[in-house]
Structure formats: structure tokens, C-alpha cells
């Protein structure tokens, strides 16, 4: 089932999986294509990728260890970051929003994003930061949702 459409009488399957600290979607595409698509989906939601950490290459270089294809994208939405920083100066410790792309098996990847409400929720009672977390969460979920649907 793709595009969130179910056969008559059957429930719509939601492929997005949630954990206490993030959410993820499977993507049926090669790794390199998935990284490009994830970057574009983030951009469509107002995020720029500030950093790209190639975990596979880093582990090989630093530890001579083999690891699956895996990158960490440091995504930032400038208006949301600005609002959060003005509400709580040290919130920069929790920025940017990390998004990971890894190869589960050839031709199948997973794209996961941090859960902004969980991360920013540790700040405590700050309504402006909570508002940023809700908006960042919505935008990240929308970006990941377009990846699964192939939009």
C-alpha cells in the first residue's frame, strides 16, 4: 500500500514509526538517491542541511571498522531556530535537528528524524520553545511523509 490509500474496508497503514526520541519512515530507493530526496524534502519544509556526517566513512577512517551506509544530516530551519534562540539562549545545545539516513538493505533505506518535542521538552516550561518544537515536529513529519509516499 502506497500513498496512504487502502482498499475499501481496510485501514490506512501509517508507515511512520515513532520512538521516544524520533520518528522514521522506510524508503524504497538506493541510499544516494534517498539522501538527495531527504535533503530536498527538508528544504521544501524550510530546513537547510548545515552539516553532513558520513558515519560509514568516519568509522572506517578512524577505527578501520566497516559499517552500513549511514549519514547524519544537521537540519536547520532558520526562522524556527531564531525564535528558539531568542526564547532560550542555550537551546543551541539541542540544535540543529538531526536527520539520519541509513541503508537497511540494498534498495531499502530508513530516514529518521529527532523528535523536536522530546528534545526541546527537556527545557521545561517555556511556551515559546514549546511552540517551536510543535512546528518543527510538524515540518519534519511532513518532510518524512513525502519520502515514503514518493511525492
Cis-peptide into 96, omega within 30 deg: yes
- Helical ranges in 91-126 per DSSP H: 116-121
Task: Compute the distance between CA of residue 76 and CA of residue 48 in angstroms, rounded to an integer.
Answer: 5
If one counts every other C-beta atom within 10 angstroms of the C-beta of residue 53, the result is 14
For 20-149, CATH gives: 3.30.310.70
- Helical ranges in the chain per DSSP H: 31-44, 55-63, 78-87, 116-121, 127-149
The pLDDT, as a whole number, for residue 115 is 96
Sorted by where each begins, the domain ranges of the chain are 20-149
Task: Compute the distance between CA of residue 60 and CA of residue 77 in angstroms, rounded to an integer.
Answer: 31
The pLDDT, as a whole number, for residue 11 is 44
The pLDDT, as a whole number, for residue 121 is 85
pLDDT (tens digit per residue) in 59-106:
999 999 999 999 999 999 999 999 999 999 999 999 999 999 999 999
Beta bridge partners of 76: 48
User: Does pTM surpass 0.85?
Assistant: yes
The SS3 call for residue 148 is helix
pLDDT (tens digit per residue) in 14-35:
689 999 999 999 999 999 999 9
Instruction: Examine the pLDDT at 135 and tell me if it is beyond 60.
Output: yes
Instruction: Examine the pLDDT at 1 and tell me if it is beyond 50.
Output: no
Q: Which residue has the higher pLDDT, 72 or 151?
A: 72
Amino acid at each position: 500500500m502506497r500513498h496512504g490509500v487502502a482498499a475499501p474496508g481496510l485501514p490506512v497503514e501509517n508507515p511512520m514509526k515513532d520512538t521516544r526520541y524520533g520518528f522514521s519512515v522506510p524508503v524504497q530507493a538506493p541510499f544516494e538517491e534517498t539522501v538527495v530526496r531527504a535533503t530536498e524534502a527538508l528544504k521544501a519544509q524550510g530546513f537547510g542541511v548545515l552539516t553532513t556526517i558520513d558515519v560509514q566513512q568516519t568509522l572506517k577512517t578512524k577505527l578501520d571498522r566497516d559499517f552500513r551506509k549511514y549519514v547524519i544530516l544537521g537540519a536547520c530551519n532558520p526562522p524556527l531556530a531564531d525564535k528558539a534562540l531568542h526564547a532560550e539562549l542555550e537551546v543551541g545545545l539541542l540544535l540543529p535537528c538531526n536527520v539520519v539516513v541509513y541503508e537497511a538493505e540494498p534498495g531499502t533505506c530508513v530516514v529518521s528524524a529527532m523528535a523536536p518535542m522530546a528534545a526541546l521538552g527537556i527545557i521545561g516550561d517555556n511556551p515559546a520553545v514549546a511552540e517551536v518544537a510543535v512546528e518543527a515536529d510538524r515540518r519534519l513529519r511532513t518532510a518524512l511523509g513525502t519520502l515514503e509516499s514518493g511525492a
